[in-house]
Amino acid sequence: MEHLLETDGSILLWIQENLRTDFMTAIMKAVTRLGDKGIFWITVAVLFLLFKSTRKTGLALSIGLVINALIVNVWLKNMVGRIRPYEVVEGLKCLIPEPSDASFPSGHASHAFVAVAVIWIMMSEKYGIIALIISAIIAWSRLYLGVHYPSDVLAGILIGIIAGVTGVIIVRAVEKRMGGNKTVMSKQIDDN
């Protein structure tokens, strides 16, 4: 565990020393705001729910985001209680207002990768790639700004993918149970 902490800290210091610029910092601050409290992804889910062609995707995304929030924000952050890296890694500077919650796992990364999993599975690879690019940049911003360890972000990505896949499985299972491809659920969702 000590080796992991040292490696995590070394990566963040390397990023700080070699990649930070005023221009990139401005971009990363804006990008990281997209992930604040999952609002961007909640908005995407709501937009998907509004249109018949993406309604099931919106439902799976909504379910995945709820599952993810329960795992990450309610359970793991409180259970693990990992201190943010800028409080521990000597010389590391946090570039945004200091978050008040625990570091592990990254909520920004996990919420973003719920969307990657759901969109990739339920829509098309093209939209999945767009979600992946946006999500990867959001996850990277957390390292760049010094608010998460790399292991926080990697754990967030993994948990987000699992939550997203679970959302898809739930929607498909309910749809199948209610009668196949043109299900009662689809009709009820489409009628609303």
At residue 150, the pLDDT reads 97
Radius of gyration of the chain (CA): 18
Band the pLDDT of 3: cuts 50, 70, 90.
confident
We report the CATH number of the domain holding residue 175 as 1.10.606.20
At residue 93, the pLDDT reads 96
Reading the block at residue 144, the tokens are 């760049």
25-73 residue pLDDT tens: 999 999 999 889 899 999 999 999 999 999 999 999 999 999 999 999 9
Q: How far apart are CA 97 and CA 99, in angstroms?
A: 6
Q: How far apart are CA 92 and CA 10, in angstroms?
A: 10
Residues 146, 92: contact at Cβ < 8 Å? yes
pLDDT at 182 over 60: no
| Least confident stretch, 22-26, 150-154, 159-163, 185-189 | 185-189
Start-to-end C-alpha separation, the chain: 51
Region 85-95: what's the mean pLDDT?
95
Q: How far apart are CA 48 and CA 68, in angstroms?
A: 18
Domain total in the chain = 1
Band the pLDDT of 183: cuts 50, 70, 90.
very low
Per the confidence metrics, is the pTM higher than 0.75?
Answer: yes
At residue 190, the pLDDT reads 54
Q: How far apart are CA 174 and CA 172, in angstroms?
A: 5
Q: How far apart are CA 192 and CA 181, in angstroms?
A: 18
* Average pLDDT of the residues of the chain: 92
- CA distance to 45, 67, 88, per residue, from 54 (Å): 9, 20, 44
- Whether the upstream peptide bond of residue 99 has omega within 30° of 0, thus cis, is no
Using the structure block, give the residue that is written with the tokens 């070699």: 18
At residue 153, the pLDDT reads 98
Using the structure block, give the residue that is written with the tokens 């199948």: 176
Q: Cβ contacts of residue 104 below 8 Å, gap of 6+?
A: 76, 77, 80, 82, 149, 151, 152, 155
Residues 108, 35: contact at Cβ < 8 Å? yes
Q: How far apart are CA 15 and CA 93, in angstroms?
A: 11
Give the residue numbers spanning the domain of 156: 2-191
